[in-house]
């Protein structure tokens, strides 16, 4: 079976990725599954001296696609036809894994079953008789504890013995299944599985059915059988459930222990309205200290000044001089808007360290099982603005880099949620580069100014979010989320995730910085910037009451968020702005349209029309809000 | 068995009652509906027997008429719920069956159905179900057999009865997470979200979803 594919399939949170990483070593490659945003990791496993291709599919509960993850896993199996499926299960939740097992069994691909989390199962007093299970299912069953490295070599040994289970549930709707299967048999692979999904009412599956058979099935089977998808689904679940009860009755032993478990205690405390909130605030504070102060401050300063300005930049300039580069090229690379001086410096000296810190923190939150608990704690706030707790991920990422956050909004399930998050990210969530400078600028004035700024942003998020939730069509998507056990994060897993995300940053985001800079260089050369400045200055000067010089910083803010903010910072330090003007500028620049890179990704993800509407609305809102603030600040002494 | 005349009276009163509930009180309009839906001359009979009053252009129900109209509507909508949720009839078919059954169900039986279903407040088509005596008792803390998860106290272990939802996605997701009818579940906490434990799995849902999950002790 040289060059054949081994697919790892399993429920979410069963330790599948840890296991995969340990088996394939560090040489795994993460990529988007074609046409989707879902990550699929690929690598190789050595068995008896031969390399085998291996793929880690997204964790799923079922192969009936409701989310993109499930769609990818199923499509991958049907299209790439793995020669072995390794199903990874959580022993504690064997019932759920068996549901998936029966779905996989319909494909008749040789399988082995890995019962992972042996250590956790022992703790909770659950034992599975692996030998019994092997006898019933007739596929190799292996016990592992991936995080401890226990049982991994057994997987490698057993893969060649993978077997197709003869265990097939005789469905109470067998007649219907075989009626469709008769038509598809010998014409397409996996006909039985495809027949069942078709009867389940899965619309996507018909892509795998040849057109000439579709009508035939419709008239000859579906009309005659006369069973609706809902009841077929329920019956299927019942059939599988009964089979699972019989199996676990033979092979599962549960002894409940009432032992005090420290990690479980932490997990429950994190959900407690009082302790959980304190914990949440602590974690946010730690994140601010680590990402905002240490990475964005100390590390960025070091890389920007010591590495780039004092070391790399002179080298680059010297090289360009040495090879006698024409002036225009030199200007393009190292000038005021040069590719090296702006795009590369920005991408590697400023954003790279910040998001590395961010990814490390996020990896810890994800791997420890805390992130879903954070979603639960914040669900009520998010549901006020038409989102649910799951939106916490793009929101937190937005505080890091908005460009990244817009991309991560794909994890949200409905269009309505994605629209709301798009507007909020474009309007009011400041990215780390901007946030640092704005906070430094405001804290130099007074606490009161910082609080007023914060309130303005909060009011905008809640107010606009509520309006959008009301006006954008679509049902709210309620929270249904599994809470995995709290566990000690696996460093290997976190590092492979950081590596995967940084690769993604380099591939997806850095090119945008380059395009944005080239664009900037171009409009500077044709003096477009000054024309826009002239056009905008009446609004800035008369409506917002700001000095004319601030106009250029607003435009710079579009090109690079922190540039705009730092331009204002310099003006404030030189005493060119009154305190009130600093505050108004800080609010308007936060609300103002996002940076060019983020705008490009918005256009790419949502299309030009939606992007144009959002940007126009955001700009109008920022200006009107600034005007209102100017009026109100007449009565307040900051 | 009730006479045809009796059935017509009940049917028309139920029609009139629902129209008035909707805010429709124009006599001629309702008369036309009744004529079309029940029979030609029933309105005169209703007035003669003191169920209905005609006040200029407005129609009114007497106390006696009001009671029957309300009760029949209640029985109709409860029957629909029973057919749709428990017996899993197709939604398009339930109205007709409920139309027949509503006249043959006693008030006591209606109350039993109501209690069994956890005193539902809406019929499958979204129209309100008038409350009965049993519902008022339930407000006085007498628990029904089947009730939504949101009414359960934290720490209690119950059995999942059924999930009421028109949303295919929610149903499938809850089923895949192991929330299968008949399974034992424990409610851990209700705030800020509902945390439930099924087998070894902890699941968090918000209040709206908790209202869709019906359990029994």
Q: Where are the alpha helices (DSSP H) in chain B?
A: 4-21, 27-37, 42-48, 63-81, 94-101, 107-116, 133-139, 168-176, 207-210
Q: What is the average per-residue pLDDT within A197-219?
A: 82
Q: Distance from B24 to chain A by nearest Cα, in Å?
A: 29
Name the band, by pLDDT with cuts 50, 70 and 90, for residue A26.
low
- A90, closest residue in chain B (CA to CA): B200
**Distance (Å, whole) CA B199 – CA A92:** 8
Report the run of H or E that residue A530 belongs to, with start and end: helix A528-538
Whether A66 has its CB under 8 Å from any CB of chain B: the answer is yes
Dihedral angle at the C-alpha atoms of A245, A247, A253, A257, nearest 10 degrees?
-40
Q: Domain segments of chain A: what residues? A: 5-161, 174-254, 269-517, 523-633
Contacts of B206 in chain A (CB under 8 A): 379-380, 383, 388, 478-479
Token pair 């295919």 is found at B168
**Pair B70, B1 in one domain:** yes
Same domain, B130 and B212: no
Quick one: pLDDT at residue A624?
A: 94
Q: Are strands B157-163 and B213-216 parallel, antiparallel or unpaired?
A: antiparallel
Mean pLDDT, residues A556-582: 80
Whole-angstrom distance, CA of residue A566 vs CA of residue A550? 11
Computed over every residue of chain B, the mean pLDDT equals 83
| B121/B156 same-domain check | no
- pLDDT mean across residues, chain A: 85
pLDDT of residue A255: 62
Query: Cis link prior to B192 (omega < 30° from 0)?
Result: yes
Question: How many structural domains is chain B composed of?
Answer: 2
- Tally: H helices and E strands in chain B: 9, 8
pLDDT in tens, A28-50: 666 655 555 567 888 888 888 88
pLDDT at residue A66, rounded to an integer: 67
B152 and B180: one domain? yes
Looking at the fold, whether B18 and B108 belong to one and the same domain comes out as yes
Of B192, B200, B205, which has the smallest distance from its Cβ to A380's Cβ?
B192
Residues of B in contact with A276 (CB under 8 A): 192
Which of residues B127, B142, B157 is at a domain's end?
B142
Q: How far is B130 from chain A (nearest CA, A)?
A: 27
**pLDDT tens-digit profile of A78-123?**
999 999 999 999 888 888 899 899 999 999 999 999 999 888 887 7
User: Which residues of B are less than 8 Å from A484 in CB distance?
Assistant: 202
Domain co-membership, B202 together with B162: yes
The confidence score (pLDDT) of residue B142 equals 47
CATH of the domain at B161: 2.30.30.90
Tell me which residue of A624, A604, A625, A599 sits closest to A614, measured CA to CA.
Answer: A599
| Same-domain pairing of B127 and B197 | no
Strand pairing partners for A88? A10, A114
Classified as helix, coil or strand, A476 is coil
Domain boundary among B142, B159, B191: B142
- Select the residue from B86, B91, B193 to test the A interface by mutation, using most A Cβ atoms within 10 A: B193
Q: Which residue has the higher pLDDT, A463 or B32?
A: A463
Domain finish residue from B118, B142, B166: B142
How far from A411 is each of A390, A393, B196, CA to CA, in Å? Answer: 8, 9, 24
Domain limits for position B35: 1-142
pLDDT beyond 60 at A257: no
Mean per-residue pLDDT, A210-224 = 79
Question: How many C-beta atoms lie closer than 10 Å to residue A87's C-beta?
Answer: 24
Give the count of beta carbons closer than 10 Å to the beta carbon of residue A557.
26
Check whether A77 has a pLDDT greater than 90: yes
Report DSSP letters for A78-101, one per residue: HHH--SEEEEEEEGGGHHHHHHHH
Strand order in the sheet with A5-10: A29-32, A39-47, A50-56, A5-10, A84-90, A111-116, A141-143
First to last CA, chain A: 74
DSSP string covering A281-343, please? HHHHHHHIIIIIIIIIIIIHHIIIIIIIIIIIHHHHHHHHHHTT--HHHHHHHHSTT-IIIII
Report the gap between the CA of A273 and the closest CA in chain B (Å): 6
Residues B150 and B138 in one domain: no
Using a CB-CB cut-off of 8 Å, the residues of chain B touching A483 are: 195, 202-204
- What's residue A362's pLDDT? 85
Segment B11-34, tens digit of pLDDT: 888 888 988 888 888 888 888 888
| Closest-CA residue to A178 (of A202, A196, A203) | A196
CA distance A384 to A463: 10
Closest alpha carbon to A597 in A332, A316, A355: A355
Q: How far apart are CA A595 and CA A517, in angstroms?
A: 11
Element (H, E) at A192: helix A191-199
Spatial contact of B182 and B192, defined as CB atoms under 8 Å apart: no
Same domain, yes or no, for B10 and B90?
yes
Domain topology for A174-254: Helix Hairpins (1.10.287)
Instruction: Based on the fold, state whether residues B117 and B105 are members of the same structural domain.
Output: yes
Q: What is the pTM of this model?
A: 0.71
Contacts of B200 in chain A (CB under 8 A): 90, 92-93, 124, 126
Check B189 against A92: CB less than 8 A apart: no
Residue A25's Cα: distance from chain center in Å? 24
CATH number of A5-161: 3.40.50.300
pLDDT above 70 covers what percent of chain A?
A: 95
Helices A94-105 and A229-251: crossing angle in degrees, nearest 10, is 120
Reported confidence tier of residue A2, pLDDT bands at 50, 70, 90:
very low
Digit-coded pLDDT (tens) for A353-376:
888 888 898 888 888 889 899 999
Amino acid A1: pLDDT: 44
A603-635: pLDDT as tens digits: 988 899 999 999 999 999 999 999 999 999 888
**Is residue B47 predicted with pLDDT exceeding 70?**
yes
Contacts of B193 in chain A (CB under 8 A): 376, 379-380, 389, 479
What's residue B105's pLDDT? 86
- Do B115 and B173 fall within a single domain? no
| pLDDT value of position A456 | 95
Residues of B with CB under 8 A from a CB of A: 88, 90, 167-170, 172-178, 180, 188-189, 191-193, 195, 199-206, 208-209
Q: Which residue of B191, B203, B206 is in closest CB contact with A478? A: B206
Find the Cα–Cα–Cα–Cα dihedral A362, A365, A369, A374, rounded to 10°: -100
Token couple for B201: 């799995």
């Amino acid at each position: 079976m040289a060059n054949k594919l081994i697919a790892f399939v399993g429920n979410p949170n069963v330790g599948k990725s840890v296991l995969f990483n340990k088996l394939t070593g560090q040489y795994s490659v993460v990529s988007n599954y074609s046409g989707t945003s879902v990550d699929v990791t690929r690598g190789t496993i050595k068995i008896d001296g031969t390399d085998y291709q291996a793929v880690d599919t997204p964790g799923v509960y079922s192969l009936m696609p409701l989310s993109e993850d499930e769609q990818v896993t199923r499509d991958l199996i049907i299209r790439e036809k793995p020669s072995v499926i390794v199903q990874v299960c959580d022993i504690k939740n064997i019932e759920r894994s068996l549901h998936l097992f029966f779905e996989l069994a319909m494909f008749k691909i040789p399988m082995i079953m890995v019962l992972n989390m042996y250590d956790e199962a022992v703790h909770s007093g659950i034992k599975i008789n692996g030998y019994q299970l092997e006898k019933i299912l007739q596929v190799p069953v292996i016990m592992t504890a991936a995080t401890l490295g226990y049982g991994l070599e057994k997987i490698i040994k057993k893969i060649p013995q993978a077997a197709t289970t003869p265990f097939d549930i005789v469905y109470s709707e067998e007649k219907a299944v075989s009626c469709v299967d008769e038509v598809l048999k010998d014409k397409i692979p996996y006909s039985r599985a495809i027949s069942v999904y078709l009867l389940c009412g899965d619309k996507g599956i018909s892509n795998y059915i040849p057109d000439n058979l579709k009508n035939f099935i419709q008239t000859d089977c579906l009309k005659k059988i006369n069973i609706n998808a809902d009841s077929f689904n329920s019956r299927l679940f019942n059939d599988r459930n009964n089979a699972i009860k019989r199996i676990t009755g033979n092979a599962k032993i549960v002894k409940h222990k009432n032992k005090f478990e420290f990690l479980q205690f932490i997990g429950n405390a994190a959900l407690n309205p009082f302790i959980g909130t304190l914990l949440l605030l602590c974690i946010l504070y730690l994140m601010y200290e680590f990402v905002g102060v240490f990475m964005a401050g100390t590390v960025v300063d070091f890389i920007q000044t010591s590495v780039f300005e004092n070391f790399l930049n002179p080298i680059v300039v010297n090289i360009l001089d040495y090879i006698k580069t024409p002036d225009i090229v030199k200007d393009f690379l190292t000038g005021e808007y040069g590719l090296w001086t702006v795009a590369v410096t920005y991408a590697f000296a400023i954003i790279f360290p910040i998001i590395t810190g961010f990814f490390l923190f996020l990896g810890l939150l994800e791997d420890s099982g805390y992130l879903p608990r954070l979603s639960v704690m914040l669900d009520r706030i998010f549901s006020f603005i038409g989102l649910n707790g799951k939106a916490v991920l793009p929101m937190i990422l937005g505080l890091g880099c908005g460009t990244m956050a817009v991309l991560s909004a794909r994890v949200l399930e409905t269009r309505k949620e994605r629209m709301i998050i798009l507007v909020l990210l474009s309007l009011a969530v400041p990215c780390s580069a901007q946030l640092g400078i704005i906070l430094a600028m405001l804290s130099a004035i007074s606490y009161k100014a910082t609080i007023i700024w914060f309130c303005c942003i909060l009011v905008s998020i809640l107010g606009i979010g509520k309006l959008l939730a009301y006006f954008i069509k679509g049902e709210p998507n309620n929270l249904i989320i599994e809470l995995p056990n709290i566990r000690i994060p696996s460093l290997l897993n976190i590092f492979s995730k950081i590596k995967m995300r940084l690769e993604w940053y380099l591939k997806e985001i850095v090119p945008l910085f380059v395009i944005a800079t080239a664009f900037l260089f171009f409009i500077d050369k044709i003096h477009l910037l000054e024309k826009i400045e002239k056009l905008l200055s009446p609004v800035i000067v008369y409506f917002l009451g700001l000095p004319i010089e601030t106009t250029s910083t607003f435009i710079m803010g579009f090109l690079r968020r922190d540039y705009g903010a730092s331009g204002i910072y310099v003006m404030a330090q030189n005493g060119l702005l009154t305190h009130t003007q600093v505050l108004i500028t800080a609010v308007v620049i936060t609300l103002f349209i996002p940076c060019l890179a983020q705008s490009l990704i918005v256009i790419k993800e949502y299309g030009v029309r939606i992007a144009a509407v959002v940007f126009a609305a955001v700009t109008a809102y920022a200006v009107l809000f600034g005007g209102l603030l100017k009026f109100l600040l007449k009565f307040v002494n900051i | 068995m009730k006479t045809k005349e009796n059935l017509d009276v009940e049917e028309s009163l139920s029609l009139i009652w629902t129209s008035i509930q909707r805010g429709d009180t124009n006599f001629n309009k309702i008369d036309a509906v009744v004529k079309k839906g029940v029979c030609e001359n029933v309105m005169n009979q209703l007035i003669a027997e003191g169920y209905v009053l005609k006040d200029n252009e407005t129609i009114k129900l007497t106390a006696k008429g009001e009671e029957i109209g309300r009760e029949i509507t209640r029985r109709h909508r409860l029957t629909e719920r029973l057919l749709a949720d428990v017996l899993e009839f197709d939604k398009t078919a339930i109205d007709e069956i409920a139309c027949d059954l509503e006249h043959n169900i006693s008030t006591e039986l209606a109350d039993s159905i109501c209690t069994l279903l956890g005193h539902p407040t809406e019929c499958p088509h979204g129209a309100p179900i008038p409350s009965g005596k049993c519902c008022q008792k339930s407000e006085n803390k007498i628990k029904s057999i089947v009730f939504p998860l949101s009414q359960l106290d934290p720490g209690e272990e119950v059995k999942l009865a059924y999930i009421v939802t028109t949303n295919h996605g929610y149903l499938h997701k809850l089923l895949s997470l192991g929330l299968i009818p008949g399974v034992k579940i424990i409610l851990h906490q209700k705030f800020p979200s509902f945390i439930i434990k099924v087998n070894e799995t902890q699941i968090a849902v918000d209040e709206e979803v908790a209202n869709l999950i019906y359990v029994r002790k």
